[in-house]
Structure 1
């Protein structure tokens, strides 16, 4: 990744961590080791969530591609949920979920806390199941 893009991404991760810390009343921090084969997301501090951050010039591409990366990272982390924070021009943030990620979150809010009860969902077939 070119240095300008890396710098933009690092700043976006710091901004997202600060925003989430304020909104949630808990400490959210950047993770180190991005890009590893076993990458488990960009932010740490929210149990059972993988949080991915994107600050791309092409926000439509980020919204299409990054949630799939977050889903793979969710499996690496053996977490129940994944979400992607996309930064738009002017500093506006949006959270992007695949339909499966959204459904998993809704099912957990509506019913059993047992993660096995939430799996599999369509789209999970290509990924390994969560380990207990």
Structure 2
């Protein structure tokens, strides 16, 4: 199964010059734990809840680029769910951006992969009952 079938398309992003306070608000309102960081329309990093916790008490005064991770692990929409799962396990990450032709097109999380797994298990069970 290709990752394009399980990813979240057009993810919400944040600019690297925004404050961590804004990042936290976006994450809290959207109920997610990571935000791709953009600069002039290109992906330059990712900021996570864990990154924000390191700056508790200073979120209003610190910019996203001071906390974001820039060593990105990405995949394309044409990689498989298995590819994504292997990369996420290898690098011990809970999600990663999906990039096509240098543009951010989506994001995939461990929750997305778990949903895909459950769909496969359900479909297999239905086939076996026939």
TM-score w.r.t. the length of structure 1 is: 0.31
Which is richer in strand? Answer: 2
Give 1 or 2 for the bigger CA radius of gyration: 2
Which is richer in helix? Answer: 1
